[in-house]
Amino acid sequence: MYLQKQFEEPDVRVLQALIRSHPLGTWVTHGDGELIVNHVPFLLDPDRGPHGTLAGHVSRSNPIWQLFSKNVPSVVAFQGAEAYITPSWYPSKHAHGKAVPTWNYAVVHAHGLPRAVDDRAWLLEHVARLTDTHEAGQARPWKVSDAPADYVEQMIGGIVGIEIPISKLVGKWKVSQNRPMADRLGVVAGLTARGDGRSLDMAALVERHTARRGED
């Protein structure tokens, strides 16, 4: 990933927080002479390894669990907040016109060598944790044990686990750090006025980094 220093987010805790809040990862690996891309919801164990370990699963009929490279690290991309930024929000645009549109975004790339896990106990624990994590906000959370035992057994037999110990974790927070303070405040105001959830999430990131810059 092309990463200018001003957009780098080095705090592992911040990077791990994005993975937890946006767990659907885009998993890219080399296999069978080409790049293979899959979209997998991952759980993060932050304390296993220096950067944590990702755990997910794929369908047994998906050949990726047999094809992924055992020598070239995979990359899993996690996309956080993102939003189009119009130069109309910049005071500098109205002053001299030297401004162009851009896109703000926060993204984390996790690198590591995967391993396949074909173990019933591991898989059952994994899907139970995955379910409990994402059902937690429901009024009546569904649990794996709510399904008939023979059905659960059948479903477990149809998947294979994937673990990726993270060897490198890279974060890019492109949130208007390259703009003057007045332009940053204009971006926050514009995104806030736009009002949709995606824009409000980005407004919060720009505001947070603007406050951080003000403390420097």
Question: Is 42 within a domain?
Answer: yes
Q: What is the pLDDT of residues 61-105, one digit of tens each?
A: 999 999 999 999 999 999 999 999 999 999 987 778 778 999 999
Asked, for residue 210, whether it belongs to a domain, the answer is no
Q: Averaged over 168-183, what is the pLDDT?
A: 96
Residue 71 forms part of a structural domain: yes
**Residue 215: predicted pLDDT:** 47
**In the prediction, which pLDDT does 210 show?**
85
Average pLDDT over residues 4-8: 94
Alpha-helical runs (H) found in 26-136: 64-67, 91-96, 120-135
For the segment 114-122, the average pLDDT, to the nearest whole number, is: 97
Q: Residue 23 maps to which CATH number?
A: 2.30.110.10
For position 216, what pLDDT does the model report? 45
Q: What average pLDDT does the segment 161-190 reach?
A: 96
Give pLDDT, residue 213: 60
The predicted pLDDT at position 4 comes to 93
Q: For the whole model, what pTM was predicted?
A: 0.93
Residue 13, in any domain of the structure: yes
Examine the pLDDT at 49 and tell me if it is beyond 50. yes
| Domain around 12 | 5-88+101-179
Domain count, the chain: 1
CA 216 to chain centre: 28
Nearest-angstrom CA–CA distance, 40 and 27: 7
What one-character-per-residue DSSP string does 141-182 give? ---GGGS-HHHHHHHHHTEEEEEEE-SEEEEEEESSTTS-HH
